[in-house]
Amino acid sequence: MSNVNHTRILRLALVAIPILFVLLAFLQRDIDAAAGPLQNQNPELMIQSGKMLKKMSLGYDSLLADIYWTRTVQYFGFRVGKPGETFPLLAPLLDITTTLDPQLIIAYRFGTIFLSEPDPAGAGRADLAVDLVKKGIAANPDYWRLYQDLGFLYSIRLKDYPKAAEAYLEGSKNPKAQIFMKVLAAAVALKGDDLETSRAIWGEVYNSTQDELIRRRAVQHLQAIQANLDLKRLNEVSEAYAQKFGHFPATIQDLQRAGFVRGAPKDPEGYPYVIGPAGVPQLDPQSPVVLDPDKKQAVKP
């Protein structure tokens, strides 16, 4: 090969280019750190209108929808748990995503849960969630689960039991709908703010999706309801004990010895319940179960 100049430069390139790429990777990491806060100001929302974006996407709207969906999840994940966070852009992002692809069901279901969760676990805007779900129903009238979501929002979040029952009923008319829709319609109409009803609703939410984030949240709520039910029962037992012995029990063992409970009752995470001051049963302080997941406190998603 008599092209020495070529060989020389080729060798230089083969050595230098990988080194440069390594340098570039480190530099990129630094840039991501520095520009992180800047990036999450969301330059993509320069265009706030989903309809405009849809027109501009030249037919690639479902691809763009996927991109926006990715960014929605990123947006949420990056901020969740930060105190005082209200996710102002969550609703617009979901709106854009579902305008670009009205059949992107997961977006509606995600919005149902996390738009309505009170901050800092979510945006605390159940009304926006209702709008979103109604939009989803309009575009996907056959997807009965959206009625389930609507029912969830009205009953759990907005405490509007007549509307909730209506939603569950409407959804149950779909021949593909599961029987629990009818059951919940009735239950909500009868005793909407009942814990048992809530548990049924959250249970169906858990069953209806594979999304990890939604399921985790549902589990938290289910555990809370279970714990609340357990504590309510323990309270009744404690009252009965007080009636019999004239004073409240000091420990769970007291209740055991008196034959009021069998074994050591445990909370959904496996921690045994304890008796607190004034004989009030409570959770073990070490337990990760949260009694009121809707309370404003730092939440671990």
Summarize as ranges the residues that interact with another protein (CB under 8 A).
Answer: 1-6, 9-10, 12-14, 16-17, 20-21, 23-25, 27-28, 30-31, 34-35, 38-39, 41-43, 45-46, 67, 70-71, 73-74, 77
Closer residue to another protein in complex, CB, 65/169 = 65
Asked whether 261 and 42 are in contact (CB, 8 A), the reply is: no
Closer residue to another protein in complex, CB, 44/284 = 44
**Single-letter amino acid code for the residue at 74:** Q
Least CB distance to another protein at residue 80 (A): 14
For residue 282, give the H/E element and its range.
strand 281-282
Six-digit token string for 190: 């009868």
Q: Of 250, 237, 246, 240, which is closest to residue 278 (Cα–Cα)?
A: 250
| Residue written as token pair 């280019």 | 17
Least CB distance to another protein at residue 22 (A): 9
Closer residue to another protein in complex, CB, 200/213 = 213
Q: Of 212, 213, 194, 214, which is closest to residue 204 (Cα–Cα)?
A: 214
Asked whether 64 and 53 are in contact (CB, 8 A), the reply is: yes
Closer residue to another protein in complex, CB, 34/190 = 34
What letter would DSSP give residue 281? E
Give the pairing of strands 274-275 and 281-282.
antiparallel
Closer residue to another protein in complex, CB, 34/264 = 34
Least CB distance to another protein at residue 107 (A): 14
Closer residue to another protein in complex, CB, 36/162 = 36
Least CB distance to another protein at residue 222 (A): 24
Least CB distance to another protein at residue 108 (A): 18
What letter would DSSP give residue 155? I
Residues 266, 271, 274: CA angle, nearest 5 degrees: 75
d(CA 273, CA 275): 7
Least CB distance to another protein at residue 79 (A): 15
Six-digit token string for 298: 């730092």
